[in-house]
Homo-oligomer: A and B are copies of this chain.
Amino acid sequence: MSTHSAGPEIERLIALLAKLPGLGPRSARRAALHLLKKRDALMSPLAEALADAADKITACSTCGNMDVTDPCAICAAPGRDPSVICVVETVGDIWALERAAAFKGRYHVLGGVLSPLDGVRPDDLNIGGLLERAGNPVVKEIVLALNATVDGQTTAHYLSDRLEGLSVDITSLARGVPVGGELDYLDDGTLTAAFKSRRPA
């Protein structure tokens, strides 16, 4: 915006809010207005939560998860199975799997997927750390829980090749009809995969 209609402090706040995914310039203004209205209930607490998180949270040097401790709470938890490592693209994927309580082993965050178009090469991902962890005799299985996208699957193939020499099982998530999914709305690839992996009812 060329005009500082709302004063430089508010303009700066709007410009920063507009950088959040899901917020554009218009919704950032709306969010700023909402924050100004709810100064004590929302604006100050959010400022503190952001400063607190920026100050305390670090990447786990073992798995790449974000937490206030290093190793992170998941890597440090004695109750979690150290023999299975679930490889994910981002920390957000850990959050999704933890919300579902779908997995009780350890994680490894790649930090992205291989993408020739975006210039992401193997050295840009945390693959060295994964190979090192996979070489530990405690580890029996590596679950490749990458997104079912072209880049995600390319990366999964690449990781399978790199892990081949080690004595670990390499698995990936099942493909099929999502829970609550209606056949009529599913893409052909999912239907084909669901048919191929069909099982006794």
Contacts and interface: CB of A to CB of B under 8 A. Distances in A.
Contacts of A98: 3, 5-6
Contact of A95 (B29, B51, B99): B29
Interface string A7-21: 101101100110111
Interface bin, chain A = 35 or more
Task: Report the copy number of this chain in the oligomer.
Answer: 2
Given A31-B21, A34-B20, A9 B50 contact: no
A148 interface: no
B91 A36 contact: yes
Contacts of A19: 38, 42
Given A10-B53, A50-B47, A33 B3 contact: no
B68 A9 contact: yes
Contact of A57 (B10, B17, B67): B10
Contact of A53 (B9, B68, B99, B101): B9
Contacts of A12: 49
A23 interface: yes
Interface string A160-200: 00000000000000000000000000000000000000000
The 8 closest A-B pairs by CB, nearest first: A5-B98, A47-B50, A47-B51, A22-B27, A43-B54, A13-B49, A20-B31, A16-B46
Given A7-B66, A7-B73, A43-B50, 6 more contacts: A5-B99, A6-B95, A13-B52, A21-B27, A33-B90, A36-B66
